[in-house]
Structure 1
């Protein structure tokens, strides 16, 4: 078994294509195919099912070898990180994915401070919807993801970060503001601005499920994938929206909006850091997680001091 054979096999699985894997590993497709055949000859069993022109599909032996390949490649990355640390270098790669709202409201200061402490770390940020973030973490394509904690499957590890609240977003002075507690019946009377249906947003799914359970008619006038866009159209009077927010964000305070709690209908929510259980983060990756809570502590101290 050779190092390049492991790398070639791994790329075929991850890219779901011999052609793309060959390009990614700077080999011809023929050379890559020979590497896979050499592995199969050594193990005396097929790693991929041969079924016409379908995407590569692993056999049971292939699944076992994929697990081995992931551990080996992960170990290689950790070794590089450890050697850089021994040499006194803070060098490495850190790849993170989160929804737009999280990146827009919560990350700028954190990223700025982290980049100043670890200038040699190549940081990549991806704006992705929550389910895609989870898929990227599960597949090992990113180091950390940020999503609502209750969306994360038990096969992944989470660290609870920030509490969020499910609210109705309405223009200042809207009739719903006079209600002590917004009911589903009251909410259904107004045009709704909700996340796109294809994103399977938990808030929308729960809301529609409850509407249907109670036999309430409702009308969606706009689909919006982030709170910022929704807020613009709520403020303009197009409709009301529902979303998960962190109270007292300056960007939201700048608009003429009210945020009415739906805590009595939806349980508590938290944004969580998501990672794989089989990956121990390198020191500079652990430092990023630490910086999340340092920033939060600093913000809490500043808030307490201003009272």
Structure 2
């Protein structure tokens, strides 16, 4: 009789693939490093194959066969988890734990309203929240460590089903005395030649800012060389206040105090689609998809009047 890999062995393997470090993978799985190592070694012996290349020193490198087993193991573990989720969802929808990932350009400005709203609308849901950049959140979603993500779109959402919640306009911020301060509304093409302060690579808001500026033919197909980068929106605002450049920030953050005491001027933009879309995303074919659509309908209450996208106003997008 064939001895199949256990779900725990697959979880060890997926955690190691995601984190590329035995210690961090063990912590993520709530076991000791020796337990995780022994579990993966037992899996190799059980399958009579080598999953890891141990000739490359301390780096975690999977063999080609290990990568293939990793891919199939991810699918298998999702299927096993789906069995339990389908049963639970059929018994009682909108109950139990829900692990929500949220990006740092949304989280600080919405959690104070999101948490009580979910508690009021769905009292039997136990909400667990993790904040990180989009790419890392998506990795955790695909490995089953998160259930659903609150995202800024457009984004690279392959493997996800997403639904829009509301539009979040971008606002131009400039230091005091900047020529653009005199304009009540700033056309995108007036940003041409301006030095920008952007978020660091890894923030989807950086890519969205670049896309908005390209609409005004400011940067063509490249980014300006002479610019500064910031690790957070708060740092970006302070850098603009110091005269290092101008920047784009989301209205959501401005409405919740991002610019308070920063000494910068804010102006609306015109000349193209100058917004991001706040949306909710989950794994394709998730057995809890209906729960997440119900959650999305509730979260739309957080959007400002006039910016909310009704569930049937824009088609739900399915990643390839």
> How does the TM-score come out when normalised to structure 1?
0.69
How far 1:263 moved relative to its partner?
3.6
**Which one of 238, 243, 249 corresponds to residue 249 of structure 2?**
243
Looking at structure 1, the residues matched to 221 and 53 of structure 2 have their Cα atoms a distance apart, in angstroms, of 49
Alpha-carbon offset, residue 261 of structure 1: 0.3
Q: How many residues end up aligned between the 2 structures?
A: 295
- Residues 164 and 247 of structure 1 are in contact (CA less than 8 Å); yes or no, is this contact kept in structure 2? no
Equivalent position to 1:73, from 70, 77, 92: 77
The residue aligned with 1:104 is 108
- Picking from 276, 291, 294, the partner of 2:298 is 291
1:276 equivalent in alignment to 2:280: no
| Greater RCO (Cα-Cα under 8 Å, separation 6 or more) | 2
1:259 and 2:267 aligned:
yes
What is the aligned counterpart of 1:36 among 43, 60, 64?
43
- Map 1:112-123 onto structure 2 (within 5 A): 112-119=116-123, 121-123=125-127
The equivalent of 2:315 in structure 1 is none
The answer on whether the counterparts of 1:12 and 1:18 sit within 8 Å (CA) in structure 2 is yes
Distance 1:113 1:180 in 2: 34
Q: Contact 1:49/1:57 (CA < 8 Å) preserved in 2?
A: yes
**Comparing 200-209 with 47-56, which one deviates more in the overlay?**
200-209
In structure 2, the CA distance between the partners of 1:241 and 1:134, relative to structure 1 (3 Å rule), is same
Aligned pairs for 1:141-160 (under 5 A) are 141-160=145-164
**CA distance in 2: counterparts of 1:208 and 1:197, whole angstroms:** 17
Instruction: Find the residue that maps to 2:106 and give its secondary structure.
Output: helix
Are 2:185 and 2:268, in contact at CA under 8 Å, matched by a contact in 1?
no
Answer whether contact 1:133 1:147 (CA < 8 A) is retained.
Answer: no
Distance 1:280 1:66, change over 3 A: farther
| Conservation of the 8 A alpha-carbon contact between 1:166 and 1:262 | no
The Cα shift of 1:67 comes to: 3.8
Once the 2 structures are TM-superposed, how far is the Cα of residue 89 of structure 1 from its aligned partner? 8.7
Q: How far did residue 196 of structure 1 move?
A: 3.2
TM-score w.r.t. the length of structure 2 is 0.67
Aligned pairs for 1:168-179 within 5 A: 168-170=172-174, 175-176=179-180, 177-178=182-183
Alignment match, 2:55: 51
CA–CA distance in structure 2, aligned partners of residues 253 and 14 of structure 1: 36
Structure 2 residues not aligned, in runs of 5+:
308-320
Q: Residues of 2 paired with 1:18 and 1:54: CA distance?
A: 10
Could you give the per-residue CA deviations for residues 61-83 of structure 1, whole angstroms, max 9, x where no partner exists? 43443344334433443444455
- CA RMSD in angstroms comes to 4.5
Work out which of the two has the higher radius of gyration on C-alpha atoms and give 1 or 2. Answer: 1
Q: Going by fraction, where is helix more abundant, 1 or 2?
A: 1
2:316 alignment partner in structure 1 = none
